[in-house]
Amino acid sequence: MEILQGKNILLGITGGIAAYKTPELVRRLKDHGANIRVVMTEGAKAFITPLTLQAVSGNGVADSLLDTQAELAMGHIELAKWADLIVIAPATADAIARIACGMANDLLTTICLATAAPLAIAPAMNQQMWHAQATQDNVARLAARNVKIWGPGSGEQACGDVGLGRMLDVPELVDLICQHYQAHATSPNKQTTLSGQRWVITAGPTREAIDPVRYISNHSSGKMGYAIAQAAQQAGASVTIISGPVTIVSPKDCNVINVYSALEMHQHALEQAKNATVFVACAAVADYRVSEIAEQKIKKSNVELQLNLVKNPDIVADVAALAKRPFTVGFAAETQDLEKYALGKLKRKNLDMIAANNVATAGQGFNSDNNALTVFSKSKTIELPLTSKEQLAKQLVTLITQQQSKSE
């Protein structure tokens, strides 16, 4: 990938078990021609040695803010200016919290404050730590500052838990780094119609836990929401995606906040929408959740199983009800009476626009690469015929932009 040739990437490593992956990350980035400098925290050195990172990077490893020799040349400022991208992998809950608060009590956090380079973090922690309110607040704060959130992934963790929290694998991180540089390489020629705007887009399904191994969900793949995010970003907007669990690659140069449940998505949506220009609610959010989640796996001891369900909050309606609200676009996935239900939601939820599709039609909607939409505003109806979700997303972003300008 020649896109990385000669690029200056500073890799920040913090104290998590996923630090064992970083020598391989350095090797793969160097294979593509990147120049790599490594900064380690004290905690990181408990998992991987500076000597190892020095050997694979070909450069000395920086690990102290108070290194008298390095600071003769103001080493922390030199590193901050040298980098054209800073990637923190793994990014522990502690590191995320300190960067979100603007602390500068070690070399890595000081560099993050002193640099003009883009910053990306690859979270890595126990699944409960990832879902903790404090961590999610810190991640949301970083995403609002255009820090790229790469991950976390889902799976079995070192502690034995299963869920979101694993650092993305090396090939995924290399791909995201390449996407970052590709987007910047093409940015002088991209449209800038949305320059200065901040779009927030929800995408994918939510999962409502029944017990530690079971959940209620739906067939959403996230493809439509991610395509809209990419189209908005290509048109010049700063884009944040609040994504339920999906298996597709994040769009280029978009911030992604990964969530699991409807309540998590609701919390982040309201937080991110406060400073948004446009909010697009494309996620297929579960309407109901289980009132009491079983602490242990439910055994098949009974012929029948009853679940008590309670209604989830209406994310798009709550965003539309904000005192300072963004231009708000809803989605309606229907199987019948599409116009009736879509117009009802448009009025009842006080939306600016709603995009409706018939998911009962073969070859479009959930899990398909194609889709067709009927877009309703308060004054008109526009049909967008069946095409790829990428092309459809570009058409929808254009419609939103046109309608938005009329409403101002």
If you compute the radius of gyration of the chain from its CA atoms, what whole number of angstroms results? 22
Exposed e or buried b per residue across 161-184, where buried means at least 16 C-beta atoms within 10 angstroms of its C-beta = eebbbbbbbbebbbbbbbbbbebb
Q: Is the dihedral of CA 40, 47, 256, 236 positive or negative?
A: positive
Rounded to 10 degrees, what is the CA torsion of 280, 284, 290, 296? -110
Which own/partner contact pairs does 129-132 have at CB distance under 8 Å and 24+ positions apart? 129/93, 129/165, 130/93, 130/163, 130/164, 130/165, 131/163, 131/164, 131/260, 131/264, 132/93
Distance CA 287, CA 290 (A): 11
Choosing from 159, 178, 254, 282, the catalytic residue is: 159
346 CB contacts (<8 Å, ≥6 apart)? 330, 353, 354, 376, 377, 378
Strand-pairing partners, residue 201, are 241, 280
Rounded to 10 degrees, what is the CA torsion of 297, 302, 306, 312? 20
- In the three-class reduction of DSSP (H, G, I as helix; E, B as strand; rest coil), residue 66 is classed as coil
Active site residue 159: yes
Paired sense of beta strands 238-243 and 198-203, if any: parallel
CA nearest neighbour of 196 among 233, 237, 229: 237
Contact 373, 397 (CB under 8 A): no
Q: Which residues are catalytic?
A: 159
